Amino acid sequence: MLKFIYPETCLACESSSSSPICTSCLKKLHRIDLNNSCKSCHNTIDTATQICSTCLKTPPKWNSSASPFEFKGISRDLILRFKYSRHLYLLKYLCEEMENSFQEAGLPEPDIITYVPMHPLKKISRGWNQSELLAKEFAKSHPDSTCLPLLKRPHLGKAQASKAKRERLKSVKDLFSIKKRDNIKDRSILLIDDILTTGATLNACCKILRQEKPKEISVLTIARG
C-alpha cells in the first residue's frame, strides 16, 4: 500500500529511483530561473528591465508570483497527468516543488490560502478541482494560514483554449465572484492555480479579491505556460 502511495520509481518515466524524479528525468525538467525571468510573471524577459513587455504594458493585479516549472516537456506531462487523470501520487511532489519556489521567490507568508474555483458542474464532471487539491496540500505545510474558498465561479466559461488572447481576456472578466467576504480585508492572500498562461484567469480572480481590500495578493502555480 505504501509503495503505491510513494512509488519507488521515477514519477515521470517509472524507472527505478530512490527520489521522486530520477536523475535522467531531472535534467529534462524545465525549471524556471526565478532570478532570470520577469519579476511580475516569470515569463522570459524581453526588455532591458526586470519586467517583461507584457507586464510593463499591463501590470498584473497580483503583488508577486512564483512557479517552479515551465509548462513543457516532462513538467508538462506530470501536470497534465495530475490535472486530468488525478494521479494523486503526484500531488505531494508537485506541492514540494511549489513550496521550494514559494520560498525561493520570498513570497510573503499568507494569512489565507485560496484557489481558482471551478464551476460546480465542471467539478462534478471532472470529479475534482486540481487547484483546490494543490491549495489544500500546500496549506498542510503552512499551519498558520487558513485555506478558504474565497471565490466562486457562477458561470460556465466557453471553451477557452482556441480563443485569441484578447477574446479570452474578455471572456474571463466576469467569471468570478466573492464567496467569502469575511477575513479578506488587510490580509495577505496566496492564490493558487495549476498553470499561469496569459494570466487572464488569475487577473480576473485578483480583480474580484482586490475589491475586498486585502493587504496583498501573491500567486503560486506549478507552471508558467
Chain residues binding Zn ion by CB under 5 A are: 10, 12-13, 22, 25, 38, 40-41, 43, 52, 55
- Enter the DSSP assignment of 12: T
User: Nearest distance from residue 126's CB to Zn ion, in Å?
Assistant: 27
Nearer to Zn ion, 117 or 199 (CB): 199
d(CA 203, CA 59): 10
- Of 33 and 182, which CB lies nearer to Zn ion in the complex structure? 33
Of the pair 10, 175, the CB lying nearest Zn ion is at 10
- The distance of closest approach from Cβ of residue 26 to Zn ion in the complex, given in angstroms and rounded to an integer, is 8
The Cα-based distances of 198 to 148, 179, 222 in angstroms read: 25, 24, 15
CB of 13 to Zn ion, least distance (A): 3
Q: Which is nearer to Zn ion, 55 or 116 (CB)?
A: 55
> Which residues of 21-179 form beta strands (DSSP E)?
64-66, 69-70, 112-115, 146-147, 151-152, 177-178
Say how many CA atoms lie within 13 Å of 25 toward its Cβ.
20
Closest separation between CB of residue 193 and Zn ion, Å?
16
For the bound state, the minimum distance from the C-beta of residue 56 to Zn ion, rounded and expressed in Å, comes to: 8
Dist CA 16 CA 12 (whole Å): 11
Q: Which amino acid is at 123?
A: K
- In the complex, the smallest distance separating the C-beta of residue 152 from Zn ion, rounded to whole angstroms, is 28
- Among 216, 212, 191, residue whose Cα is nearest residue 202: 191
Q: Which of residues 26 and 91 has its CB atom nearest to Zn ion in the complex? A: 26
Backbone angles phi, psi at 215, to 5 degrees: -65, -45
Positive or negative: CA dihedral 196, 198, 204, 206? positive
Closer Cβ to Zn ion, 146 or 198, answer by number: 198
